[in-house]
Chains A and B, each alone.
Chain A
Amino acid sequence: DAGVTQSPTHLIKTRGQQVTLRCSPKSGHDTVSWYQQALGQGPQFIFQYYEEEERQRGNFPDRFSGHQFPNYSSELNVNALLLGDSALYLCASSLALVTEAFFGQGTRLTVV
């Protein structure tokens, strides 16, 4: 079992550009959540996808959008990048009621 996998592991973008991050959930998991972890902070919830629909959203602007595919994998898109978007982006997957979420290793995004 490969667990939750994210790609790429690192990337550098310029202000104003757009970026797409990818996540493959743990085998058998159908729910994917995305979190942003700024340096020295705890992860902040961005949004969650289930059955290819956004089910919950945190306090993030519309520049942040996502998608879930029929195989449960997911993408996080960020448009018009700002310096403040620099962070570790974490993907988590889960399945049944009250189970823990499993996290990927994250994508380190640096905006210059």
Chain B
Amino acid sequence: AQSVAQPEDQVNVAEGNPLTVKCTYSVSGNPYLFWYVQYPNRGLQFLLKYITGDNLVKGSYGFEAEFNKSQTSFHLKKPSALVSDSALYFCAVRAPGEGSQGNLIFGKGTKLSVKP
């Protein structure tokens, strides 16, 4: 069965410091991987995706993610955190071969808290 794990319920970072939000996945074949962010009482906003190619993917708002096939991980990173980055972050996977017809499988989410 396909699954996504976000091992940390919460990540606390000081403003200006680098941040990492972890994600590992389990899926047969080469997955499509996504990161979304959710602010309170809002829907999900797309940050970035990995489909194929360069293992380092750059996305919106200065975020990037590194795909590691051997470790089945897709960790979200940012070199310098902002207080406004505080939100709930979701990693998601779409099974290969399903394209836009495939549903997204989400992790349970990681709450990022950036303190001034």
User: A and B: partners?
Assistant: yes
By size class, the interface of chain B is: 20 to 34
Cα distance, A55 to B92, chains bound together (Å): 20
Most buried by A among B34, B92, B106, B108: B106
Which residues of B38-68 have CB atoms within 8 Å of chain A's CB atoms? 41-46, 49, 51
Which residues of B16-43 have CB atoms within 8 Å of chain A's CB atoms? 32, 34, 36, 41-43
Q: How far is the CB of A36 from chain B (nearest CB, A)?
A: 11
Which residues of B94-111 have CB atoms within 8 Å of chain A's CB atoms? 99-109
Interface size in chain A (residues, C-beta < 8 A): 32
Q: Which residues of B contact A (CB under 8 A)?
A: 4, 32, 34, 36, 41-46, 49, 51, 90, 92, 99-109
Q: Which residues of A contact B (CB under 8 A)?
A: 4, 6, 31, 33, 35, 40-45, 48, 50, 55-56, 58, 90, 92, 94-106, 108
Top 9 nearest A-B pairs (CB, nearest first) are A42-B106, A45-B103, A97-B99, A103-B43, A103-B44, A105-B43, A94-B100, A100-B46, A42-B108
